Amino acid sequence: MSDFSEELIRPTTEDEQGEPCVRSGSGMCFPWLQKHIESIASGGKQEKDFAQTTSACLNFIQEALLKHQWQRAAEYMHSYLQVLEDTDSNKRQGAPEIVWRLGSEILYYHPKSSVETFNTFADRMKNIGITNYLKISLQHALYLLHHGLLEDANRILTQAETWRYGEKSSSQEVLVNLIQAYKGLLQYYSWYKKKMELSKLDKDDYAYNTASQNMLNHSWKTSINLCTLIQIPGVWDPFVKSYIEMLEFYGDQDGAREVLNNYAYDEKFPSNPNAHVYLYNFLKREKAPREKLISVLKILYQIVPSHKLMLEFHRLLRKSDKEEHHKLGLEVLFGILDFAGCTKNITAWKYLAKYLKQTLMGSHLAWVQEEWNSRKSWWPSFHFSYFWAKSNWKDDKTLACEKALVAGLLLGKEMKKGTSRWPQ
């Protein structure tokens, strides 16, 4: 930890020499730390209790991290390492994980940190916090991936994959599966590169057959690592996407469909909008019937009414022969525009203006009233105020015109009075 920066080995200044200071195990002096420790004293008496000191130091580290003061956090961290020798067995047992989490965060952002420093720190912490070996290994591998060191990351994951400590617990099993899955992602990356190379070769070329066989070997290894994890309830988006791409490439449509259906509909899995997005896109590629596509997007609409696929959902509903779908199509448009992030979505306003006219001409005034009744108290100020009219006209005249058309249809002649009565 003394490698955090040169600040840790800087000489003491003249002003600091006469001051009391806290010394690290290597004899480095931190006079400012002594002042902070003294600040926890009550009634003017200095608290020397070990627990008080480490607790205060931890608070100072957290404060430095919140303020992105990485050098200062590193200095505090150097002194905080004494927590690993805490006489309280419970605190000493949990200390390695705290040290790892704080230290890795500092090293990740410290301007003078390096991959070599992080590697050294990670290796030491794996030996100290033996029960956290898998967690540390996984984060270590992700750090290396972030720096583009794929081979080093794969080596770390391979070592962790075969590591065992004591009796195998359920949490340890999940971590091993996760490590294997990340290893599978690395293998997927290699597979994907080979796939791109294959696409540039002639199918009659000998090199094509060789490359194809190499891809098959990679896909077999990857599928084993990914398949186990995605059967465990959880959110595994990148792993599922990679696995599905490989299944589709080799023509296993039934296998891909089964994986996606389980991921989206299995009650053991947490609610996940992306699961329905992946299923919808897969069914769309398969040219599934409109009814099937609508059923998938209907669930997504219930989870995320403002999702970008909702405009596509509206178009599907509009093309349906069922009147209930036409009614839902109007509800979907209103639902999109309920969200602040969609207020300038010109496509949504165009669709709503056009669909309102069609709905009213089709003698479905009740549909419009049903949607408007719950919004008439807040939509006028949210969408149709003078401020927004002026702002929209300045930024996008087409948007302003579409919104004005919708406002006219919804508010009619009563708009200027600020009411929302429907003309009879």
pLDDT, position 210: 66
Q: 96-112, pLDDT tens digit by residue?
A: 888 889 889 999 999 88
pLDDT, position 129: 67
User: Do the domain assignments include residue 205?
Assistant: no
The tally of domains found in the chain comes to: 1
Residues present in the chain in total:
424
Residue pointed to by tokens 């033996």: 130
Q: 216-230, pLDDT tens digit by residue?
A: 666 666 777 788 889
- How far apart are alpha carbons 367 and 96 in whole angstroms? 62
Mean pLDDT (the chain) is: 82
User: Do the domain assignments include residue 216?
Assistant: no
412 pLDDT above the threshold of 90: no
Residue pointed to by tokens 């919104």: 403
Query: pTM for this structure?
Result: 0.76
pLDDT, position 192: 85
Among the listed residues 84, 85, 120, 127, the one whose alpha carbon sits nearest the alpha carbon of residue 104: 120
CA within 13 Å, CB half, 110:
26
Using CB atoms within 10 Å of the CB of residue 85, give its burial: 0 to 12 exposed, 13 to 18 middle, 19+ buried: exposed
Average the pLDDT over 23-42 and give the result: 43
Q: 177-214, pLDDT tens digit by residue?
A: 889 889 888 888 888 888 887 777 666 666 666 666 66
Percent of the chain with pLDDT over 70: 78
H or E segment to which residue 30 belongs: strand 29-30
Per the model's pLDDT, the better-predicted residue between 192 and 409 turns out to be: 409
User: Do the domain assignments include residue 91?
Assistant: no
2 pLDDT above the threshold of 70: no
Residue 303: pLDDT band (50, 70, 90) is: very high
User: Do the domain assignments include residue 124?
Assistant: no
Residue pointed to by tokens 């390096």: 114
| Longest distance between any two alpha carbons in the chain, whole Å | 90
| CA 163-164-165 angle, 5° bins | 135
User: Do the domain assignments include residue 31?
Assistant: no
pLDDT, position 208: 64
User: Do the domain assignments include residue 350?
Assistant: yes
Task: State which residues form the domain around 403.
Answer: 289-423
pLDDT, position 223: 78
Residue 12: CB atoms within 10 A of its CB come to 14
- How far apart are alpha carbons 114 and 118 in whole angstroms? 6
User: Do the domain assignments include residue 323?
Assistant: yes
User: Do the domain assignments include residue 173?
Assistant: no
